[in-house]
Amino acid sequence: MSHPAFAPNNLAVITGAASGIGLAAARHFASLGMRVVLADLAGDKLDKAAAEVAAASPDRVQHIVAMPTDVSRLEDLEALERGVRQRFGEVHVLMNNAGIQPGSAILGPLAAWEATLSVNLWGVINGSRVFAAGMIAHGKPAVIINTGSKQGITTPPGDPAYNVSKAGVKVFTEALEHELRNTAGSQVHAHLLIPGFVYTGLTAQGRSEKPAGAWTPEQTVDFMMESLARGDFYILCPDNDVPRPTDERRILWAAGDIVENRPPLSRWHPDHADAFKAFLEKDRD
């Protein structure tokens, strides 16, 4: 069984829909007979994506629409919501998925921090805030799916701006779900998508073929749909290299830095390397 929000003729709005997980989700939703709005930066990439999604839609080409949107701009998201409401009416699925990863360093260029936070964090916060009231008001089952990252939970060294943005998405989405479930008459629920290693344009890093350890965007969307059908809030995706037990041990170790008063990011600290290795091996006992 699937979540009731994913019904024929229901409407899904997806940001970052021109590629990767967003495009795979758009194709999947269209195949269910849903109406789909693809939101992404204007250009040929978005137009091509809309054509691909229309091809996946059973006789509903007119129900697949591309709306150019820069999620780093609140006014663009407000215009998106107005345009969707005027053309289609009620929104049943909102997927705040747009993300960038230009790279960053603690003392590196401020522009990388500002761009990453504007898209990855503020795009999710503003997208949720702009659409949520209308989704609550129509009184039908609906979902807001925000794309986070394992890097926002275990926060590995190397790209602090990205980690901060995705940690913010996690905390915001938890608070959003708490608010929604305590709002009288609301049938809207929030969910945090936590992908594993997925082969997309964002993660390709010059590779032209999918690494063996990576999942495809389609596998990620399939797992997401199964998790939503179960009512999972945390959609913690494995991949071909990292099974769920390993993710769980890494997450527990990260939380343990506080409880055990270890140095931050002790998983990568030479004084704690052996202890972490032994801790991780417990999932294989």
Known catalytic residue at 162: yes
DSSP label at residue 140: S
Q: Cα separations (Å) of 62 from 34, 51, 68, 107, 277?
A: 11, 11, 17, 48, 54
Between CA 269 and CA 275 the distance in angstroms is: 10
Strand partners, 194: 236
**Torsion over CA of 157, 162, 166 and 168, rounded to 10 degrees?**
100
Q: Tokens 């994506």 sit at which residue?
A: 49
For residue 221, with 0-12 CB atoms within 10 Å meaning exposed, 13-18 middle and 19 or more buried, which class applies? Answer: buried
Between CA 48 and CA 50 the distance in angstroms is: 5
Choose the catalytic residue: 6, 29, 131, 162: 162
Provide the token pair at 27: 């194709």
In 3D, which of 238, 263, 240 has the Cα closest to residue 249? 238
Active site residues: 162
